Structure 1
Amino acid sequence: MSNIDLLGRRKFIAGLGIAAGAAVVAPAMAMSEKADGVKWDKEVEILIIGSGFAGLAAAIEATKLGAKDVHIFEKMSYFGGNSAINGGLFAAPGTPMQKKEGVEDSVDRMVADQMLSGRGVADEVLLRHIASHAVEALQMTLDAGAEYHPYLQQLGGHSVARTYQTAVSCGAGITQPMYKECKRIGVNTHNRSKFEGFLLGDKGEVVGVKMRSNYHFEEDQPGKVMNIRAKRGVIMATGGFAQNVDLRMAEDPTLTAEVGCTNAPGATGEGMLEMFRLGAIPVHLAYIQSGPWASPDEGGFGYVSNYSIFNFPHSIAVNRLTGKRFMNEIADRKTRADAELSCRDEKGNALPPILITSYKDSKVHPNTEKVIKYNVGWKFDSVEALAKHFDVPLEALKAQIAEYNGFVKTGEDKQFAKDMTMAKNKMIEAPFTVVRLWPKVHYCQGGVKINTKAEVKDSLTGQSIPGLYAAGEVSGGIHGVSRLGSCSIPECMVMGMTAARSLMKV
């Protein structure tokens, strides 16, 4: 890319800014520039921006393949990014636990499930690449010391049980052991380090970055900006933009600041935006997913989310206005989120539906005790007490429970065609545990276009931008309209590993 090309793209984006105003970009923008005459403050072999699943996996894989000087830079004061607070759910086909439990699965089957959820616009080639290497990524977490519950889960939209969950029921169960493994093998880690832009060679290749040290999120930036040269290349693992309200509203005006979000505060997208400046192809930015398992009674991801994810297969979601079910409790995320948002009172105001589970079945998950303890879930000894508390029509609710229990006995859901495999012998009966449901912004399907080498594609040339790789939520187009739950961790890790292999020429 020439100087003229780079400047031309900046003018083009600036022109868009005139029309769109501040709604396009909330954080202070980075700015890339030519490296001619730049004084390098530091030189590293591999430079990774972001310390979530993708960045950690890239660092471990690169070191395993012989890299001697790998550096991870993290914007926040803590490591792990958004990955540390996600649900810790990892889907993979053909795993040891599936074989132990007699679950028949394959790469083809997992990809087919994802393509269906993607509504016809998911990237089958990338999904197949990820599914084909998911077990390798899972093994990397185990080798690092991650521990998982001794059972599989069948999440919404998955045709079989293929999901592991960390023993601590959150992503920290993976990021913490992987971070420790990075330190053990000599990966250099830097927190409070904010990406300020790329530094480019004579042909437009990425040769380094500008990085601000001693950065304090949402505060003045007193630290020094350093020019860091990356001998092999730069891996962008900076995550999504769900916390950038202006940007997400530019793509979907309904996602205002009043809509909750499960993400860490640093998920603001400036790394993605700067790649667009270089000419990276924007893909599917308007596909922003809301989690149907979230609760309006707590902030962020909270305790209810994992509780609900575990219990959906053997629970009923009930519209409080009618006392009836209104959806397949294990449909894909978009289907369920849309169904929940349709639950309104007579005046059209939001009326969060309830998820009803038998306490004897819900208590298997460790979050059950927590949702009750922290008053974001309730336990009832009778259906009458439950109906009175939530002002649900009692007779309609009793009839619905009886009808559903009939489906449990026959193994066939005649209301919403829910797969009843995981509900076998699990009747809805007292005592009950109940939580309220309401979607929260959770995941950005959109980002920069990459290929199966994790290379970032150039919108003008159709070729890869030399020296630049991306992995994880910052990339786009992989999942299409709706991502299946537990498929982000394998995506992030496999593409992080892939980026490392590409840099190391493997």
Structure 2
Amino acid sequence: MNKVDFLTRRNFIKGLGATGVAFAAPGMANAIVADDNIHWDDQVEMAIIGSGFAGLAAGIEATKHGCKAVTIYEKMAVYGGNSAINGGLFAAPNTPLQQQKGIQDSVDIMVADQLKSGRGVADEKLLRHIASHARDALQMTIDAGAEYYPYLQQLGGHSVPRTYQTKVSCGAGITQPLVNECRKLGVKLQNRSKFEGFILGKDAAVIGIRIRYPYYFEDENSGKLLHIRASKGVLMATGGFAQNVNLRMAQDPTLTAEVGCTNAKGATGEGMLEMFRLGAIPVHLAYIQSGPWASPDEGGFGYVSNYAIFNFPHSIAVNCLTGKRFMNEIADRKTRADAELACRDSAGKPLPPIMITSYAHAKEHPTCENVLKYGVGWKFDDLQSIAKRFNIPLQPLQQQVDEYNAYVKDGEDKQFGKSMAKAKGMYIQAPYTVVRLWPKVHYCQGGVQVNANAEVLDSNTGKAIKGLYAAGEVCGGIHGVSRLGSCSIPECMVMGMTAARSILGA
């Protein structure tokens, strides 16, 4: 039943509106239509659901454009959502640091890299919009107090170094400064506030939201329902659904509860589902990305992830069954994750591969110390010890190391075509550090379809749903089959900033 159909039934259901609202049709059970006598518990100009990169950037941008009443509602007890525990890696083209280091980059080059990774189904218009404004978003984080290392990384699938790394090696190095900036500007933040549904006006526009407050995660009876009026618009910045095992298995049956996940517990997708009930277009839900840099020896994102991301360019990934490399260590995420998942023992059971790095190079990354301290990585004095520990045939392993070091010397990887630019002079030599690799569910490419104004599109009309905007991982179709690492933060922030401007007509 479309919006027009159920709105014509308002007189029939008006008798249900003792609280000033009438519930919509069964397919939209959590959406309600406001009657004239509805009691609003609070009124804001702009309501933002989710306090990650997208929501925080939107709050800051809205206040800069004159919005006087912005509230960010966060489901969990702490702010930052999944963004706070991500890798803190930010990709942007044409940055001052690139110029300082003589790196030639452009919006066109960055978009071309992403389109290649997206395997023909990424949204070029949105990718170009994001890349064109990534520097502005990066500057917003710096202005708020985020600190980055004075070097750039070249992550898998990127043709040049363009990725900044926060000094704390996680997304909290960005979300915490943004939270502080929001408070400084007068943006209201309210935690333990679970989004329960939309409130629609007589013309089917989104005019408000229902919030359960105070909400205690997984206690669905906690708190009470509040009706919040949003006079200018509602921004959904609720993130992905990687922790919703039933939903992700509906898209990919192999992603069972036994498959690890890097996401925060609150990444369960309710906001996305409510937009679908309202008529939003679902896009690419089956494209769920696993991180090839994750470790089976620790939970969540852990220490190994950023360690591996930093060290992949000058390390080798080895199949323990053969003692040989099996992939380009800086290929895009899907290529590497698929290659890792193919590493099996003679019985077909998972056999996590290892990554070997010279300790002299590995220790340059700040997480190396914790990787070794907490036993999720190991230091070895010779290849014999590595072979014995992981039951690897020694002779092929020694041959592989010698062969790879020849590639370092010549500047050409004849096995997998890996770019050796970031490996120049960085030989695999003792002592070594080793971590195990196995993909974890990390990012959902699928979600609701939005346009370049961050407006949510209606599946019936193809037009924008009035009053409703979305930004960040809750949106789908932007990256296609596989997202390049370090491109989620610019996407979230640019689209959050875009939504704020669209809502305010700025």
TM range (shorter): over 0.9
1:76, 1:191 within 8 Å by CA — same for their partners in 2? yes
Aligned partners of 1:454 and 1:498 also within 8 Å: yes
Q: 1:230-255, CA deviations, whole angstroms, 9 ceiling, x for partnerless residues? A: 01000000000000000000000000
- Contact 2:321–2:393 (8 Å) recurs in 1: yes
Map of 1:32 onto structure 2:
31
Q: Which amino acid aligns with 1:261?
A: C
For residue 116 of structure 1, what is the aligned residue in structure 2? 116
CA shift for structure 1 position 71: 0.3
Once the two structures are overlaid, the 10-residue window that deviates more, 412-421 or 218-227, is 218-227
Partner of 1:474: 474
The Cα of 1:13 is off from its aligned counterpart by: 4.9
The residue number in structure 2 matching 1:464 is: 464
The 3 A distance-change label for structure 1 pair 401 and 203 is same
3-state DSSP of counterpart to 1:407: helix
**Map of 1:330-349 to 2, 5 A cutoff?**
330-349=330-349
Q: Counterparts of 2:9 and 2:265 in 1: how far apart (Å)?
A: 31
Q: Tell me how far apart the structure 1 counterparts of residues 501 and 27 of structure 2 sit (CA, whole Å).
A: 33
**1:278 match:** 278
Q: Find the aligned partners of 1:432 and 1:63 in 2 and give their Cα distance.
A: 51
Change (3 A) 1:198 1:7: farther
- CA distance in 2 between partners of 1:10 and 1:443 (Å): 32
Q: Give the Cα–Cα distance (whole angstroms) in 2 for the partners of residues 280 and 6 of structure 1.
A: 20
Of 6, 21, 28 in structure 2, the residue corresponding to residue 4 of structure 1 is 6
Aligned AA (1:307):
Y
Give the superposition deviation at 1:12: 8.2
Task: Tell me, in whole angstroms, the C-alpha distance in 1 between the residues paired with 2:282 and 2:224.
Answer: 31
Q: Distance in 1 between matches of 2:484 and 2:417?
A: 18
For residues 420-467 of structure 1, the C-alpha deviation after alignment (integer angstroms, 9 at most, x for no partner) is 100000000100000000000000000000000000000101110000
Matching of residues 389-404 of structure 1 within 5 Å:
389-404=389-404
User: What are the residue-to-residue correspondences of 1:76-115 with 2, within 5 Å?
Assistant: 76-115=76-115
Amino acid paired to 1:35: A
Instruction: Give the distance between the partners of 1:171 and 1:250, measured in 2 at CA.
Output: 29
Contact 1:6 1:278 in 2 (8 A): no
Q: 1:167 corresponds to which residue?
A: 167
- Residue 370 of structure 2 aligns to which amino acid in structure 1? K
Q: Structure 1: which amino acid aligns with 2:57?
A: A
Give how far 1:38 is off. Answer: 2.0
2: CA distance, partners of 1:486 / 1:435: 22
- Which amino acid counterpart does residue 6 of structure 2 have in structure 1? I
Instruction: Measure, in 1, the Cα distance between the counterparts of 2:171 and 2:431.
Output: 31
Counterpart position of 1:293: 293
Cα drift, residue 2 of structure 1: 2.5
Instruction: Say if 1:354 and 1:434, in contact at 8 Å, map to a contact too.
Output: yes
SS at match of 1:339: helix
Alignment-mate amino acid for residue 179 of structure 2: Y
- The secondary structure found in structure 1 opposite 2:389 is helix
3-state SS of 1:226 partner: strand
Distance in 1 (CA, whole Å) between partners of 2:364 and 2:504 is 44
Please give the residue correspondences for 1:10-409 in structure 2 after superposition, counting only pairs within 5 Å: 13=27, 31-36=30-35, 37-409=37-409
Distance 1:244 1:483 in 2: 20
Paired residues, what number?
A: 491
Q: For residues 446 and 222 of structure 1, what CA distance do their matches in structure 2 show?
A: 30
Unpaired segments ≥5 residues, structure 1:
15-29
Question: 222-231 vs 296-305, which deviates more?
Answer: 222-231
CA distance in 2, matches of 1:192, 1:359: 44
Partner-residue secondary structure (3-state), 1:230: strand
The amino acid of 2:294's aligned partner reads A
Sequence identity percentage: 71
Cα deviation for residue 203 of structure 1 reads 1.1
Instruction: Give the equivalent residue in structure 1 for 2:490.
Output: 490
Q: CA deviation at 1:222?
A: 2.5
1:305-358 Cα shifts (integer Å, max 9, x gaps): 000000000000000000000000000000000000000000001000000000
Letter in 2 for 1:468: L
- 3-state SS of 1:370 partner: helix
Displacement of 1:41 in angstroms is 1.1
Secondary structure at the aligned position of 1:357 is classed as strand
| C-alpha distance in structure 2 between counterparts of 1:38 and 1:254, whole Å | 46
Structure 2 SS opposite 1:99: helix
Contact 1:65 1:504 in 2 (8 A): yes
How far has the Cα of 1:79 moved from its partner?
Answer: 0.2
- CA 1:153/1:199 → structure 2, altered by over 3 Å: closer, same or farther? same
Change (3 A) 1:12 1:407: farther
CA distance in 2, matches of 1:351, 1:358: 23
Please tell me whether the aligned partners of residues 156 and 330 of structure 2 are also in contact (alpha carbons under 8 angstroms): yes
Which digits, 9 at most, give the CA deviation of each residue in 1:11-60, with x for residues without a partner? 7859xxxxxxxxxxxxxxx7111012421111101100000000000000
User: Given the two structures, how large is their TM-score scaled by the length of structure 1?
Assistant: 0.95
Shift of residue 482, structure 1, vs aligned partner? 0.2
Q: CA deviation at 1:388?
A: 0.8
Q: Residue deviations 1:188-244, cap 9 Å, x none? A: 000000001000011110000000111000124331211000010000000000000
SS in 1 for 2:198: strand
- What is aligned with 2:20? none
Separation in 2, partners of 1:55, 1:463 = 23
- Between the aligned partners of 2:118 and 2:86, the Cα distance in structure 1 is 21
CA distance in 1, matches of 2:26, 2:206: 21
| Pairwise CA distance, 1:6 | 9.5
Question: CA separation in 1, counterparts of 2:249 and 2:205?
Answer: 32
Whichever residue aligns with residue 292 of structure 1, its letter is P
CA distance in 1, matches of 2:26, 2:438: 39
1:69–1:10 CA distance, 2 compared to 1 (3 A): closer
When residues 481 and 491 of structure 1 are mapped into structure 2, their CA distance, relative to the original with a 3 A threshold, is: same
* Deviation string, structure 1 residues 151-197 (Cα, Å, up to 9, x no partner): 10000000000000100000000000000010111110000000010
Which AA in structure 2 matches 1:291?
Answer: G
Q: TM-score, normalised by structure 2?
A: 0.95
**Alpha carbons 2:242, 2:263 under 8 Å: kept:** yes
Is the contact between residue 92 and residue 131 of structure 2 (CA under 8 Å) also seen in structure 1? yes
For residues 309 and 376 of structure 2, the distance between their equivalents in structure 1, rounded to whole angstroms, comes to 15
CA distance in 2, matches of 1:214, 1:469: 25
Distance 1:130 1:299 in 2: 31
SS at match of 1:229: strand
Letter in 2 for 1:46: M
CA contact (8 A) 2:6 2:24 kept: no
Question: 1:447-506: CA deviations, max 9, x gaps?
Answer: 000000000000101110000000000000000000000000000000000000101111
* Runs of at least 4 residues off by over 3 Å: 5-14
AA partner of residue 2 (structure 1): V
Deviation at 1:5, TM superposition (A): 6.4
| Structure 2 runs not aligned, ≥5 long | 11-22
Alignment deviations for residues 383-429 of structure 1 (CA, whole Å, 9 cap, x no partner):
11111111111010000000000000111000000011000000001
Distance 1:424 1:12 in 2: 62
